[in-house]
Amino acid sequence: MSLPNDFHWGFATASYQIEGAVDQDGRGPSIWDTFCKIPGKIADGSSGDVACDSYNKTQEDIALLKELGATAYRFSISWSRIIPLGGRNDSINQKGVDHYVKFVDDLLAAGITPFVTLFHWDVPDELEKRYRSLLSRKEFPLDFKRYAGVMFAALPKVKHWVTLNEPWCSSIQAYSAGIFAPGDDSRQDIYPWIVGHNLLLAHAHAVQLYRSEFKEASQGEIGVVLNGDAVFPWDATDPADVEACERKLEFTIGWFADPIYFGDYPSSMRKQLGDRLPEFTAEERALVQGSNDFYGMNHYTANYVKHRETPAELNDIAGNLDVLFYNKRGDCIGEETQSPWLRPCATGFRDLLGWISRRYQYPKIYVTENGTSIKGEDDLSREEILEDDFRVQYFDQYVKAMAVASSLDGVNVRGYFAWSLMDNFEWAEGYQTRFGTCYVDYKDCQKRYPKKSARLMKVLFESMIKKS
């Protein structure tokens, strides 16, 4: 049970969740700044205005990473900090660019490899006003391409690029559930599929640009990050439930990965959605297919899946099935956490690593997010929070499951990033839910305190990674 000797490990964060400083040094508003101002959208009425103040605490964050022994750090760039209005003809904010240039230099000086995400859901708000941002097949991909090019040119020392984080969430949570910015659920039957298509085009345009103008000089790599939950049939003896499991993975992962690896959407999606699922033009297909140097995998939980007998509803986004925590026998997938959607199941992690590897011809995989919240954690004292044994157990079981997949299943996993480095703004849940391996005291200047889980990581990975 081991991992490759060049394995990267560390922690992950996202710009809007940790940076704060929303009006500092020329940053423009993002759709999340606007969304947070709408009453009732964020559970505790909060926002990322201050968050963890990481924009002003980069040295503190790097020192923390070094203290914890991390060899890599995955973070995202705030698009509206680089191009405040967002568009390809809009001016660049040099102070924003300089901030990330120095941050990357300082990470490298500390011996920490940067993995940089260009887009973690925070579209510049001006693009939403101009053309409804992600809904534009014509404008959005080209504006994103220009922004990506600015960062490729500014950060030639970065060798690991992520175009988009979890386009499923940008499509479904924002345009079906309406709980993520910009929260447009007015056409649940069609908008998610349009947005998903446009995000694939944006990703592919950025990859094409990187490969044609920057990859040779930097000797780097670029890919997209997709989320996905593991699945088990509600009734393992029912072929319809087994088939539903496959369909669930296709509607979540295959939706984006199949066009990249195979050139089109899964047939199960075409069958259910019909002409609501966009068609690729020949030019788009050529652009999208093959646009991944690695597979970025975000994973947290698992479910039992039960097929439905009735026809799919118009706004169904999962493949006409039920997603459950209990199976036919009454077995539970895992213990409750603070997040209603998340229950630990490390065996599901190994299983999903295998499914991705088999389906997509064993690509290089970076696990770019994995972690858990703890039920009632925010109600505890700081001393109690630092003793996060539930999270310790989660990471121990999941990292070992990954090592088994690497050793025994032929999975080519080359990196792992715990979510998250620190407690932060948890989107629609505000600050009531904590995912951090480090406690953040929001009432005392956002001071960081490593939890037991943060200190576990170095010991865990040193025991798993092969010695050269």
Residue 367 token pair: 């696990």
Tally Cβ neighbours within 10 Å of residue 218.
16
pTM of whole model > 0.95? yes
Q: Do 426 and 436 form a contact (C-beta atoms < 8 A)?
A: no
Q: Tell me the per-residue pLDDT of 46-90, one tens digit each, with 9 for 90 and over.
A: 999 999 999 999 999 999 999 999 999 999 999 999 999 999 999
Q: Tell me the per-residue pLDDT of 373-420, one tens digit each, with 9 for 90 and over.
A: 999 999 999 999 999 999 999 999 999 999 999 999 999 999 999 999
Q: Tell me the per-residue pLDDT of 225-263, one tens digit each, with 9 for 90 and over.
A: 999 999 999 999 999 999 999 999 999 999 999 999 999
Annotation marks residue 377 as catalytic: no
Farthest-apart Cα atoms in the chain, separation:
60
Q: Residue type for 431, please?
A: Y
Q: What is the pLDDT of residue 468?
A: 75
Residue 233 token pair: 């049939």
Distances (CA, A) of 384 to 27, 312, 365, 457: 37, 46, 35, 19
Provide mean pLDDT across the span 195-221. Answer: 98
Helical ranges in 334-388 per DSSP H: 346-359, 382-386
Contacts of 212 (CB under 8 A, 6+ apart): none
Q: Do 11 and 73 form a contact (C-beta atoms < 8 A)?
A: yes
Phi/psi of residue 353, nearest 5 degrees: -55, -40
Provide mean pLDDT across the span 200-218. Answer: 98
Q: What is the pLDDT of residue 323?
A: 98
Q: Tell me the per-residue pLDDT of 87-100, one tens digit each, with 9 for 90 and over.
A: 999 999 999 999 99
Annotation marks residue 166 as catalytic: yes
With CA atoms as reference, report the closest residue to 209 among 157, 139, 161, 281. 161
Q: Do 116 and 176 form a contact (C-beta atoms < 8 A)?
A: no
Q: Do 99 and 106 form a contact (C-beta atoms < 8 A)?
A: no
Phi/psi of residue 109, nearest 5 degrees: -65, -30
With CA atoms as reference, report the closest residue to 168 among 196, 190, 202. 196
Strand partners, 233: 305
**What is the architecture of the domain spanning 8-463?**
Alpha-Beta Barrel (3.20)
Among candidate residues 19, 126, 166, 284, the one labeled active-site is: 166
Provide mean pLDDT across the span 277-306. Answer: 98
Among candidate residues 369, 377, 426, 429, the one labeled active-site is: 369
Q: What is the pLDDT of residue 377?
A: 98
> Mean pLDDT score of the chain, rounded to an integer?
98
Q: Residue type for 25, please?
A: D
Provide mean pLDDT across the span 20-45. Answer: 98
DSSP 60-75: HHHHHHHHHT-SEEEE
Residue 160 token pair: 């690991």
Whether the pLDDT of residue 222 is over 90: the answer is yes
Provide mean pLDDT across the span 160-189. Answer: 98
DSSP 221-270: EEEEEEE--EEEESSTT-HHHHHHHHHHHIIIIIHHHHHHHTSS--HHHH
Q: What is the pLDDT of residue 177?
A: 98
When pLDDT is cut at 50, 70 and 90, the band that residue 306 belongs to is: very high
Residue 77 token pair: 């760039």
End-to-end CA distance of the chain: 16
When pLDDT is cut at 50, 70 and 90, the band that residue 1 belongs to is: confident
Q: What is the pLDDT of residue 376?
A: 98
Provide mean pLDDT across the span 431-445. Answer: 98
